[in-house]
Amino acid sequence: MSDDRRAVPPDDRAGGSAPIPMLWLLTIICGVTVGNLYYLQPLLDTIGREFDAGVGEAGSSLSAMHVGYALGLLLLLPLADVLRRRRLVVVLTVLTSAGLVIMTLAPNLAVLTGSAIAVGVTTVLVQVLVAYLAVLSGDRRGRVVGTLMTGMLTGVLLSRTVSGMLADLAGWRSVFAVAAILMLLSGVALHRALPNRPPDSTVPYLRLLGSLRTLIATQPVLRRRSLYGALCYGAFNAIWTSAAFLTAGEPYNWSETGIGLLGLAGLGGVLAAARVGRLADRGLQAPATITLLVLTLASFGLVYAGGVHVVPLLLGIVLMDFGIQGVHLLNQSEVYRLADQAPARLTTVYMTSYFVGGSAGTASGALAYQYGGWAGACAVAAAMIAVAVVLWLTDLLRRRRTEAAARRSAPATAGAAPRLPDSDAVGSH
């Protein structure tokens, strides 16, 4: 009992947002944890050569890790609504560390891929933390989610840099050994920092999984935002996976460190995107979303030119990361507004879709690069964003037709004020 009183921060009892020190601690841990999903990217060429595997085979290990993460989102994340979160995340950190140790010792690509799937499954703990703080944040949800996502997205990009540098210094296996140690330290920190709160729900596990279908069927905003997220993350991974192969060969011939440092190019875009969450708090989700999607689509012209020139490659990556991560922040802010009592399940639906799209982008990007070079990879990524733009515009036209039909069928009322869009329509795109 005394432990509970000591662990629960004052703001938590009041239903407000988490205190700043705790928020920043969890932001750092989110960045460290999500890095597990990306350490492989700059190492694909090196690992492929060690295990005598081709581009597609080496890329499949990263794709398999993202598939594992999607499975974890689907099967493990809903447990955060019915279990004590502190116990759940500590167990997941230990399991993640164990999987990283196996990756360190992997004797062949099959073992590496299998353990990568396991690491992907347990790395879902990062979404448990995001959903937890999103619910506590109230009216500051967009800003808090933006802070957490800054940590995560910084981890996504810096993980490539750290991975490349460690691989050059001590071999690629050292990357996963260091990651295993970081996860154990994170587990200790989470055990000390997180409140030992009771679960939000007592629904049985199988019924909990069944409720996911109900959420999908009854929440059109969730469906649309999940599609946008899947397409954007697919494009993101198609480019970043292919970039490892591009920069390892002509005309770049970069080392693992150089390939990893490419991740720093996107850091400026990520930090700028972190402020996009405030637009959601101001009700500007819809125009911000289409603007960012169009900007992302335009960025692929520069990314394509980066196949032979480094300057447009760097500029294109900055713009691409800004657009894609900005859309992701808007998506999550909208999804968490839908139901405070099912944060983990809402996250499950959105992030499962997100990483299924990411896995498809990783696999298709590697295959497109293998058969069509850098142009093929850019075409795959651009096509995904183009589909997202078309979906947004189609939904806009459908809603306008529906509203026009409703106005025509409604009885005329003399002196009636013009109808303003309600709060649900503000962020419906």
DSSP 90-148: HHHHHHHHHHHHHHHH-SSHHHHHHHHHHHHHHTTHHHHHHHHHHHHTGGGHHHHHHHH
Distance CA(338)–CA(116), nearest Å, equals 33
Q: Which residue has the tokens 């709160």?
A: 197
- In which band, very low, low, confident or very high, does the pLDDT at 7 lie, cut at 50, 70 and 90? very low
Total domain count, the chain: 1
User: Does 80 map to a domain?
Assistant: yes
pLDDT at position 1: 35
Buried b (16+ CB within 10 A) or exposed e, 249-270: eeebebbbbbbbbbbebbbbbb
Supply the range of the domain harboring residue 56: 2-405
- Mean of pLDDT values over 206-213: 82
Is 234 part of a structural domain of the chain? yes
- How distant is the alpha carbon of residue 378 from its chain centre? 20
The Cα 429–Cα 427 span in angstroms is 6
Query: Exposed (0-12), middle (13-18) or buried (19+): which is 232, by Cβ within 10 Å?
Result: buried
Rounded to a whole number, what is the largest CA-CA distance in the chain? 79
Q: What is the DSSP string of 224-283?
A: HHHHHHHHHHHHHHHHHHHHHHHHHSTTT---HHHHHHGGGGGHHHHHHHGGGHHHHHTT
Query: Using CA of residue 406, residue 412, residue 413, residue 416, what is the dihedral sign?
Result: positive
Least Cα distance to 382 among 324, 335, 332, 341 occurs for 324
Confirm whether 422 is domain-assigned: no
Express as a percent the part of the chain with pLDDT over 90: 33
Nearest to 180 by CA among 114, 259, 105, 257: 105
44 near 167, Cβ under 8 Å?
Answer: no
d(C-alpha 227, C-alpha 205), whole Å: 26
Instruction: Name the percent of the chain lying above pLDDT 70.
Output: 83
Residue 240 included in any domain: yes
- Assign 424 a pLDDT band (cuts: 50, 70, 90): very low
Distance separating alpha carbons of residues 175 and 359, to the nearest angstrom: 22
CATH of the domain at 238: 1.20.1250.20
**124 vs 99: CA distance, rounded Å:** 13
pLDDT for position 417: 43
Burial of 178 (0-12, 13-18, 19+ CB in 10 A): middle
Read off the pLDDT band of 414 (50, 70, 90): very low
Hey, which of 22-26, 75-79, 239-243, 284-288 has the most confident mean pLDDT? 239-243
DSSP state of 38: T
Total H helices, total E strands in the chain: 19, 0
Residue 9's pLDDT is 38
Instruction: Give CA–CA dist 406/206, Å, rounded.
Output: 40
86 SS3 class: helix
- Residue 80's nearest CA partner among 123, 127, 11 is 127
Q: How confident is the model at residue 261 (pLDDT cuts 50, 70, 90)?
A: confident
| Confidence at residue 142, expressed as pLDDT on a 0 to 100 scale | 63
The pLDDT mean for the chain works out to 81
CB 166 within 8 A of CB 178: yes
Q: Is 371 exposed, middle or buried (0-12, 13-18, 19+ CB in 10 A)?
A: exposed
The full length of the chain comes to: 429
Dihedral sign from CA coordinates of 265, 270, 273, 275: negative
The amino acid at residue 65 is M
Where is average pLDDT lowest: 170-179, 229-238, 326-335? 326-335
pLDDT in tens, 97-151: 999 999 999 999 999 999 999 999 999 988 888 777 766 666 666 677 777 877 8
* Residue 97 to residue 123: CA distance in whole angstroms: 10
Q: Could you tell me the two tokens for 422? A: 């309600």
